[in-house]
Amino acid sequence: MEFKDLNPESLERAAGMLKAIAHPLRISIVGCLEDGTKRTVTEIHNQLGIEQSTASHHLGILKDRGVLGSKREGKNTCYFLKHENLKTILNCVSSCCQ
């Protein structure tokens, strides 16, 4: 399917995902997960050096907008990129900022 063939609902979802990513911390969170590794909120907040509550807040936004998925593993919830193609968006943004 080509971009021009997307229906209004798909375009709305795409816009929501882009809006969710469009925050410095959320870009960083997506960057943490781009290698395909599932990570817990603790691993993410430690890696980024932010408060756990802040990480949880932003993870919730990314999950609600369909950017991230999550899976319960024991006592922890692990987060992962829901779509591999989001790596392409990060690479494009990164190359435009250099």
Is the residue at 66 inside a domain? yes
Angle at 87 between CA 85 and CA 91, to 5 degrees: 125
CATH number at residue 67: 1.10.10.10
- List the structure tokens of 57: 């807040």
* 74 close to 14: Cβ distance less than 8 angstroms: no
Distance CA 42, CA 55 (A): 8
Q: What is this structure's pTM?
A: 0.86
Q: What is the domain count for the chain?
A: 1
Tell me what the mean pLDDT of segment 68-87 comes to. 92
* 26 close to 62: Cβ distance less than 8 angstroms: yes
pLDDT for 70: 97
Enclosing domain of residue 44: 7-96
Is the residue at 25 inside a domain? yes
More confident position, 45 or 96? 45
Is the residue at 1 inside a domain? no
Is the residue at 29 inside a domain? yes
* 94 close to 34: Cβ distance less than 8 angstroms: no
Is the residue at 30 inside a domain? yes
pLDDT digits (tens, 9 = 90+) for 9-65: 888 888 899 899 999 999 999 999 999 999 999 999 999 999 999 999 999 999 999
Is the residue at 2 inside a domain? no
pLDDT for 1: 54
Q: For 96, how many CA atoms within 13 A lie in the half-sphere containing its CB?
A: 6
